[in-house]
Chains A and B, each alone.
Chain A
Amino acid sequence: MLLELHHIEKRYGGVAALTDGNLAVAPGEVHLLLGENGAGKSTLMKIIAGIVERDAGQMMWQGREVHLKTPSEAAAIGISMVHQESLLAPHLTVAENLYLGREERLPFGWVRRSRMMEAASRLIAEHGFPLRAEWRVEKLTPAGKQLVEICRAILHGSSLVIFDEPTSSLSGSEAAEVFRIVRTLRERKVGVIYITHRLDELGSVGDRVTILRDGRTMHTGPLVELTTGSIIRHMVGREVSALYQRNPLPPGEERLRVEHLTRRGELSDICFSLRAGEIVGMAGLIGAGRTELCRALFGVDPIDAGRISVGGRPVSIGSPKEAVKAGLALVTEDRQVTGLALRLPIAHNITLANVTAISRFGFLNGNAQNTAAADFIGRLRIRAGSPHQLAGRLSGGNQQKVVIAKWLFRQAQVFLFDEPTRGIDVGAKAEVFNLMDELAREGAAILMVSSEMPELLQVADRILVMREGRITGELPGRTTQEEIMRYAALETQPVSEERP
């Protein structure tokens, strides 16, 4: 074996990220690592790549136990990682980034630019990437940056390359090139660990599979022995379905109607409606335009054409301020960036979108604020010491509940949830679903964007599917993942064409 991990444990403060991580990779093997968000995949990879240190357990590299303390130690023994988020220097060129930290050593720190450019250009041409060595990285799209990361990993000729969701920002043809690179690495007897969320691409790259759940390795074995169903069972377990049960009421009057909404380059001709008491799921691959739709509806990005009506009345939404006024609420996918003021107390966050309700003539009524905050903390079972605790010190699930409480206090009628369960644990997920169910019962209309298909199947009354900025299908709530994928996947699917 090239790499073996036994019983790896890792805690961050009070949170256990890994309790029993096991993984073995052979040379020339493509090993798929699967698991839900927060299952511990990234932590396990960071331990292998020397970014974080393990608390307990064994890591064997080519038969010898190793303790990696820095990424450069990992690189020295032949481990490199293609990161999901770009770790590139934006103001430098592609070539400079490829050789960053590994420039030829010349006197006075002199850099031989032309030679570096040449080598980089050759590598890019070899793989047919749409890149140029002299381009500045800041001008690249996320996909372009991802390709630079990949070039960097293969350039430094490692024995083990880790890919962390490399295709999440890539188009079909670019993804096909990534699969080709992975196969080339396999032929060269390089070990590959490949993390992905896209169950559709498993067959095109993988040999063996390890599935993590809640910080433990649940299953390891050859890919051919698994079906999509058994993979999901290992990934999700039974907990969520046991904790959450949706009992839809018959939908009421129309709350939101969207007609021919278009935003050039992102959204084209979007039409749908939401009715009171409904939870409508929104499925699609990453980059299909679901987040862009939420942003456009909420007035963050301007629209080029289309009509939006809320509660039967046409509205013009040019800013989040107008969206909030119209009765819309957006629970964003990155709550720490756009949802919460982390350095302010919970009470301030809950009342933030409706300060008018706790003030008179511009003066705040502290009692009204505290009563409202305490009420929501109780109702939503937010685990906090007091309403004055800073929002930044809550766990992910409780932070999400504070965001939801903010919109409840605003008495919003139409809720847009963008990846509402991202980065929160299984128990909190069920609580968020129950909250959505309760909201719907009280007459709100809910649009729920999620990349986790099992989640959509469980929660949504009907499911809209987006692809390349359009709505390509509408399915009943009790559909299947395969059916959703039929509408979500690219028509010209290079993945299946090139299946070995």
Chain B
Amino acid sequence: MSQPAVERTEATPVPAKRGRERIVLQRLLPFLSLIILFVALAISSKHFLTNTNLSSVVRQTAVINIMALGMTMIIINGGIDLSVGSILAMGGLLGTMAMEMGLSIPAGILAGIATGLLCGLANGLMITQLRIAPFIVTLGTLGIFRGTALIISNGLPVHRIPQRFSFLGEGNVLGVPFVLWILVACGLATHVVLEHTRLGRYTFAIGSNREAAVYAGIPVKFHTTAVYAIGGMLTGLAGMIEASRLMTGQPTAGQGYELQAIAAVVIGGGSLQGGEGSVVGTLIGAFIMGLLSNGSDLLGVSPYLQQAIIGAVIILAVTLDELRKRGTASA
């Protein structure tokens, strides 16, 4: 994980010398908070550091995390996708239905991913071709995709799934949850795309100043559409993992997940104005939320209070990030 950290600092302006340490500290703040939270939970609950508990944190967080990777690209592009919860349901449902109809497990997983990709592609095309704000388009498709999932399934979950499908969400490879390997692979790929490819460079440019990107001759519509399609694809995969964990294809899966995915990006330093965000930040953001929720469970904090705590953390994280930015701007 040290490589991404180097990339982040490389993109920062050269600060005044005396402020440098302070700025490095502020930049590391989300990471430090995650470690402090981890240590605090390890001390206060004897159940926290057990293999079962840590695996369950990883499994619970992986779904949101993989969605949040796509959301990171979309938010850096200057957009937003409110429909990811519904896309997740569509992916999980159609993937499991494909298996029910006799397709192999890998083919079913691919079907789920392809469904997500198509949903994301539809979002992207509507945003770029109809020139409607992403917020509106995806607010609409949030309903459309959910409704479609309910219609297709007639509101009933898919149960007849091969037993071995549970390996995707619940299996271990080399003693580590399989979903963690998937998450690491997706995280690395997203990071490489964002920081080391033309698509990533254009994503930052479009989010930072769409007009300037158009004037520089960048195919803005194509790349914007591609980003939504990639986001949908990752969400489709997350949908298959969710289905595997529940061992059902639920048309009602993933409700409210979009807000958690957005929160992870934002806690990790992404800006809803576009042009800012990172894979490392998003992963940290998602894990902070995962640990908070797990810790509250272990310490017997009421689930009602949990929601309020996570809400407060979002506001706190963004406030700190804003202060940091103002600090560097005036340095």
**A and B: partners?**
yes
Q: Which residues in A have some Cβ–Cβ distance to B below 8 Å?
A: 298, 300, 320-321, 323-325, 330, 332, 337-345, 348, 352-353, 355-356, 359, 362-364, 366, 385-386, 388-390, 393, 406, 410
Q: A341-B205, A385-B14 are in contact. Are A406 and B198 (CB under 8 A)?
A: no
Contact indicator B201/A325 (Cβ below 8 Å)? no
A363: chain B residues within 8 A (beta carbon): 196-198
- Known contacts A321-B219, A364-B201; decide if A352 and B14 are in contact (CB<8 Å): no
Are B211 and A337 touching (Cβ within 8 A)?
yes
Question: 4 tightest A-B contacts by CB?
Answer: A324-B217, A341-B208, A385-B14, A353-B216
| Smallest CB separation, B324 vs chain A (Å) | 14
30 A-B interface contacts by CB (under 8 A)? A320-B215, A321-B218, A324-B216, A337-B211, A337-B212, A338-B211, A339-B212, A341-B205, A341-B208, A341-B213, A342-B208, A342-B209, A343-B276, A344-B275, A348-B201, A348-B204, A348-B205, A352-B205, A352-B212, A352-B218, A353-B216, A353-B218, A355-B201, A363-B197, A364-B200, A364-B201, A388-B13, A390-B13, A393-B13, A410-B217
Give chain A residues whose Cβ lies under 8 Å from the Cβ of B195: 364
On whether the beta carbons of B215 and A339 are closer than 8 Å, the reply is yes
Which B residues are in CB contact (< 8 Å) with A321? Answer: 217-219
Collect the chain B residues with CB atoms within 8 Å of residue A338's CB. 209, 211-212, 214-215
A250 to chain B, nearest CB (A): 31
Complex CA distance for A410 and B216, rounded to whole angstroms: 10
How far is the CB of B144 from the nearest CB of chain A, in Å?
30
The residues in B between 150 and 204 inclusive whose CB is less than 8 angstroms from any CB of A are 195-202, 204
State whether B13 touches A341 (Cβ < 8 A). no
Q: Decide if B12 is an interface residue (CB 8 Å cutoff).
A: yes
Q: Which B residues form the contact surface with A (CB < 8 A)?
A: 10-14, 195-202, 204-205, 208-209, 211-219, 275-276, 329
Q: Which residue of B is nearest A407, CB measured?
A: B216
Given contacts A348-B204, A393-B13, contact A341 B217 (CB under 8 A): no
Q: Check if B216 sits within 8 Å of A352, measured CB to CB.
A: yes
**How many Å lie between the Cα of A328 and that of B13 in the bound state?**
31
Cβ of A157 to closest chain B Cβ, rounded Å: 41
In whole angstroms, how far apart are the Cα atoms of A332 and B14 in the complex? 28
Give the chain B neighbours of A385 by CB distance below 8 A: 13-14
If A345-B11, A348-B201, A363-B197 touch, whether A340 touches B209 (CB-CB below 8 Å) is yes
A359-B215 in contact (CB<8A)? no
Nearest chain-B residue to A406 (Cβ)?
B216
Known: A340-B209, A362-B199, A364-B200. 19 other contacts (CB 8 A): A324-B216, A325-B217, A337-B209, A338-B209, A341-B205, A341-B208, A341-B212, A341-B213, A343-B209, A343-B276, A345-B11, A345-B13, A352-B216, A353-B218, A359-B197, A363-B196, A364-B196, A364-B198, A390-B13
Task: State the Cβ distance, B178 to closest chain A Cβ, in Å.
Answer: 28
- Residue of B14, B197, B205, B211 with most chain A CB atoms under a 10 A cut-off: B211
Complex CA distance for A460 and B217, rounded to whole angstroms: 27
- Separation of A355 and B197 alpha carbons in the complex (Å): 9
Q: Which of A323, A341, A356, A393 contacts B275 (CB 8 A)?
A: A341
Contact between chains at A344 and B208 (CB < 8 Å): yes
Q: A343-B208, A343-B275, A344-B205 are in contact. Are A353 and B217 (CB under 8 A)?
A: yes
In the complex, chain B residues whose CB is within 8 Å of the CB of A366: 196
Rounded to whole angstroms, the CA-CA distance of A344 and B213 in the bound complex is 12
Q: Are B197 and A364 in contact (CB under 8 A)?
A: yes
- The answer, among B198, B208, B209, B212, for a CB contact under 8 Å with A355, is B198
Q: Are A344 and B204 in contact (CB under 8 A)?
A: yes
B11 contacts across to A, CB distance below 8 A: 345, 388
A343 to B209, CA, bound (A): 8
Chain B residues within 8 Å of A356, by CB: 198
Shortest C-beta distance, A431 to chain B (Å), equals 22
B304: shortest Cβ distance to chain A, in Å?
39
The smallest beta-carbon distance between B206 and chain A, in angstroms, is 9
Q: Which residue of A lies closest to B7 (CB)?
A: A366
Inter-chain CA distance A393–B329, complex, in Å, is 8
User: Looking at B12, B197, B202, B212, which has the most chain A CB atoms within 10 Å of its CB?
Assistant: B212
Q: Is the beta-carbon distance between B217 and A388 smaller than 8 angstroms?
A: no
How close is A449's CB to chain B, nearest CB, in angstroms?
A: 15
CB–CB B217/A320 < 8 A: yes
B216 cross-chain contacts in A, Cβ below 8 A = 320, 324, 352-353, 406
- Quote the shortest CB–CB distance from A334 to chain B (angstroms): 9
- B215 in complex: contacting residue of A332, A342, A348, A389, CB < 8 Å: A332
What is the CA–CA distance of A266 and B262 in the complex, to the nearest angstrom? 44
- Interfacial chain A residues near B197, Cβ < 8 Å: 359, 362-364
User: Which chain A residue has the least Cβ–Cβ distance from B325?
Assistant: A343
Distance between B279 CB and nearest chain A CB, rounded to angstroms: 16
Contact partners of B213 in chain A: CB under 8 A? 341, 352
Note all chain A residues with C-beta closer than 8 A to B219.
321
Closest residue of chain B to A345 (Cβ to Cβ) is B11
What's the nearest-Cβ distance from chain A to residue B78, in Å?
11
Docked CA distance A320–B211 (Å): 11
Residue of B nearest to A298 (CB): B215
* Distance between B138 CB and nearest chain A CB, rounded to angstroms: 24
Q: What is the CB-to-nearest-CB distance from A383 to chain B, in angstroms, rounded to a whole number?
A: 13
Bound-state CA distance A275–B315 (Å) is: 58
Residues on the A chain within 8 Å of B209, using CB: 337-338, 340-343
Query: Inside 8 A of A324's CB, which chain B residues have their CB?
Result: 216-217
Q: Which residues of B contact A332 (CB under 8 A)?
A: 215
Contacts of A330 in B (CB 8 A): 215
Q: How far is the CA of A449 from the CA of B218 in the complex (A)?
A: 24
A393 proximity list for chain B (CB < 8 A): 13, 329
Question: What distance in Å separates the Cβ of A17 from its nearest Cβ neighbour in chain B?
Answer: 18
Q: In the complex, what residue of chain A is closest to B199 when comparing beta carbons?
A: A362
State the Cβ distance, A299 to closest chain B Cβ, in Å: 9
Q: A390–B199 Cα gap in the complex (Å)?
A: 20
Contacting pair B198 A341 (CB below 8 A): no
User: A462 CA to B195 CA in the complex, in Å?
Assistant: 46
Tell me how far the C-beta of B79 lies from the nearest C-beta in chain A, rounded to whole angstroms. Answer: 16
Q: How far is the CA of A314 from the CA of B53 in the complex (A)?
A: 68
Closest to B201 in A: A355
Please name all residues of chain A whose beta carbon is closer than 8 Å to the beta carbon of B202 when the two chains form the complex: 355
Contacts of B13 in A (CB 8 A): 345, 385, 388-390, 393
A142 to B322, CA, bound (A): 35
A345 vs B11: C-alpha distance when bound (angstroms): 7
Q: Which of chain B's residues have a CB closer than 8 A to the CB of A348?
A: 201, 204-205
Determine the chain B residues whose CB is within 8 A of the CB of A340 once the complex forms: 209, 212
Measured between beta carbons, the chain A residues less than 8 angstroms from B14 are: 385-386, 388-389
Residue of B nearest to A334 (CB): B211
Bound state CA distance, A341 and B209, in angstroms? 5
Residues of A within 8 A of B217 (CB): 320-321, 323-325, 353, 410
User: Most chain-B Cβ atoms within 10 A of its Cβ — which of A320, A359, A406?
Assistant: A320
**Chain B residues within 8 Å of A325, by CB:** 217
Most chain B CB neighbours (cut-off 10 Å) among A330, A337, A338, A406: A338
CA of A321 to CA of B276 in the docked complex: distance in angstroms? 25
